[in-house]
Amino acid sequence: MELLADQPESSQSALADRVGLTPARVNAYIRIFSERGHMVAEQKTRGMAYRLTPEGRRFLAYHQVSYRAELVRLMRSARVRFREYFRELGDGGVRRVVLYGAGETGEVVLDALSGCAEPMVVAVLDDDRAKQGGTLHGVPVLDSAELGRLDADAVVVTSVARGDEIRARLCASAAPGVAVYSIAG
């Protein structure tokens, strides 16, 4: 609905590409929205235009607010869980941590840990050369080859998509005494 509100003359195929659905699924949503009075379809010289009705705009606004409220709730929950996770690591003697993965999960972890003294995140490792050399929440993002020089007690893998692969690689090559953990379990 947001795309239709902003780009009413988009084809169903273009909408499908933008939201990661099939054109048939987009067609089904458009039919449902039309049946419920949320939008009207207008035949144009070339294709269709989909216009939100006032009811459709109210419906969209309500769901945008609900969605954002749910995201805030999920972020708070993630922050609490990550803080508990790292508190347990600290209770187990981990003082210096390296995160592996400078993606969204790594960013959420660092955000959750802001203001926490221990364990201290000393670096973030990432295989993406474009991220290396930068920072994430003020923490340097480095190549994984730098792990040996970081004097860390543990590495916490924050990548969800490649977590098992990264963890297996780290377990095979991590320095003695450096524990390897994963956010994903």
Per domain, the residue ranges of the chain are 2-52, 80-182
Please give the average per-residue pLDDT across 158-180, as a whole number: 81
Q: Do domains 2-52 and 80-182 have the same CATH topology?
A: no
Structure tokens at 22: 């099939």
Residue range 10-22, pLDDT digits in tens: 888 999 999 999 9
**Domain 2-52 is found in CATH 3.40.1160.10:** no
Domain 80-182: give its CATH superfamily: NAD(P)-binding Rossmann-like Domain (3.40.50.720)
Which pTM was predicted? 0.71
